[in-house]
Chains A and B, each alone.
Chain A
Amino acid sequence: MFRKEYKKDFDSVTPDINLIEKTAQRLNNITAKKHSGIQKRFVVAAVTICLLIGGGFMASNLTKPAFVLVAFADDGGDQIINIEGNTQVILPFGKISRGDRHFYLDETGKKIYTYDVGFDSGGISVKGKNISSVKYTSDLGEFRFLHPIPQRQGDAEGKEILTTFYEELGNKSFDVNWIPWDAINIVSENGSINFANLPSDNVRIEVFFKNGEIMIKHLKLSFNNDGDLIAKIITK
C-alpha cells in the first residue's frame, strides 16, 4: 500500500536535536529583545494617548467615516502597507513567478507541457473605525476569507464576498486573500510569458459603516515585468 510505504520512509525524516536547540536559542534571543523594548514603546504609547485625548474634543465633531486600504503578505503578518493616493505601489504579496517546466500525458498520450507557478499569497483589507462590513468584488480574480477560528463558520470565497466585523478579530475581520486564477493559469501554460501583459483586475471595495454610511474605492491590480503585483486606486 502506497500510504503505508510512504509513511514508513518519511517516519525517519526528523530534525536534528542541534537544529531544535539552535532554533530555541534564536527564539529566546527575540523574546529577550522584545522585553527590553517594552519600556520605550510604553513611553511612545503614552505620548500618543495624550495627543489623542488633547485633540479628541476638536476632532469629534469633524471626523467623518473613513478607511484606509491596506495590503498584507500571508506569511505571519509582518508586511503590511497602505494603499493611498493615486500612485502605483508594489504590494507585499502577489509576486508571480515561473518555475520548472514539466509535462504530463493526456488521454491520447500526447505530452502536455506546464510550468510551476509561484504566487506569494496575501491579500487586501481595510482599516478604520466603526466599520460593520466590507464587500469585495473582483472582475477576474477571486477572494477568500478564512476565519482563523474554524468553529465560527465565517469562511467565504468567490468573485464577490461580504466580510463582517468580528469582535475577536477587530480590523482583521476584513482581511481577504486575493487569487488571480486567470493569471496563474496563463503563467502555467506553455509558451513565452511577459508578466506585464497578464490581465489586470478591477476590484471594488464597498465599506459599510455602523452609522449607515457607505464608502467605495476602486483598485486596479496588475503585474510589472518582474512579476510584482502593483496596485493603484482608481477614481471613478
Chain B
Amino acid sequence: MITQNAKMADISIESIMLQYSDMVYRLAYARTRNKADAEDLFQEVFLKCHKANQQFSSEEHCKAWLIRVTVNLSKNLLASAWQKRIVLKEDPSWNSEKDSASPPENDKGEVFYAVMKLPEKYRIVIHLYYYEDYSVSEIANILNRKDSTVKTQLFRARELLKQNLKGEYDYV
C-alpha cells in the first residue's frame, strides 16, 4: 500500500504495478474492448510510469496519473486502429467490431454489454463514475475536460443505456 505523501522514489514501480494492475487493466479494457489491445496498453502505461519517474504525493495522485496516461496512450492506439478502418459506423455496436475485437466475455450481464456498445468517450466517463466512484469534477480534472463536458457525456451515455437495456436501473 502506498502511504500518504510517499514519493515514487520510495516505492518500486513493481509495487505500483501490483497495486494498480486491476485498475489500469479494467480501464484499458473499457477503453479498447479488446483483450489484446488492453494488454498492450497495460504494458505501455507502466513503462511510461517507469520512464517518467514521476513523483507522487499520494495514492490518489498516483491513481489519477495512471488513469490520465492510460487514456492518453489509448488515443494513439485507437487512432492507429481507426485509420485502418475506412467505414464509419453510424450505430455503434460492439458486435460490429468482431473482426478486430476478442469475442465478448460470456459471463457478463446485460449492463456490461450495453456499456461496451457505447462510444469510447462515454465508456470512459461511465467507468470512472460508476466503477472508480469519481465525481464529475474529479473526472473533468483527470481527463482535462470541462465539468460541463463530462456532465453532458454522462447524460448522453445514460440515455443510450436506457435505450439499450431491458432492465430498469437506478443511475445514481
A residues whose Cβ falls under 8 Å from a Cβ of B: 1-3, 5-10, 12-16, 19-20, 22-24, 26-27, 30-31, 74-78, 95, 97, 99-105, 113, 116, 118-121, 144, 146, 148-151, 155, 177, 179, 181
Contacts and interface: CB of A to CB of B under 8 A. Distances in A.
Closest 8 CB pairs of A and B: A76-B48, A9-B112, A76-B52, A2-B169, A15-B25, A5-B111, A149-B57, A101-B88
- The majority secondary structure among interface residues of chain A is mixed
- The majority secondary structure among interface residues of chain B is helix
B22 A14 contact: yes
Nearest to A105: B159
A27 to B, nearest CB: 5
Interface residues of B, number: 65
Interface in B70-112: 72-73, 75-76, 78-79, 82, 88-90, 92, 105, 107-109, 111-112
B131 A20 contact: no
6 contacts: A13-B29, A13-B105, A22-B43, A75-B69, A77-B54, A148-B55
B37 interface: no
Nearest to B141: A146
Nearest to A102: B119
B144 A121 contact: yes
B130 A13 contact: no
Interface in B156-172: 156, 159-161, 169-172
Contact of A150 (B26, B57, B120, B172): B57
B6 interface: no
A75 B48 contact: yes
A154 to B, nearest CB: 13
Contact of B109 (A8, A14, A100, A177): A8
A26 B165 CA distance: 42
B60 A150 contact: yes
B47 A104 contact: no
Nearest to B143: A121
B58 A13 contact: no
Contacts of A7: 130-131
B135 interface: no
A77 B58 contact: no
A1 B144 contact: no
B168 to A, nearest CB: 10
B45 to A, nearest CB: 9
B131 A10 contact: yes
B144 A116 contact: no
Contacts of A97: 79, 82
A13 B26 CA distance: 6
A198 B66 CA distance: 31
A26 to B, nearest CB: 6
Given A27-B14, A30-B51, A75-B48, A6 B131 contact: yes
Contacts of A13: 25-26, 29, 105
B68 to A, nearest CB: 7
B152 to A, nearest CB: 10
B130 A15 contact: no
Contacts of A116: 119-121
B50 A27 contact: yes
B169 A1 contact: yes
B49 interface: yes
A100 B92 contact: yes
Interface string B20-40: 011001100110000000010
Given A3-B172, A100-B88, A148-B55, A27 B121 contact: no
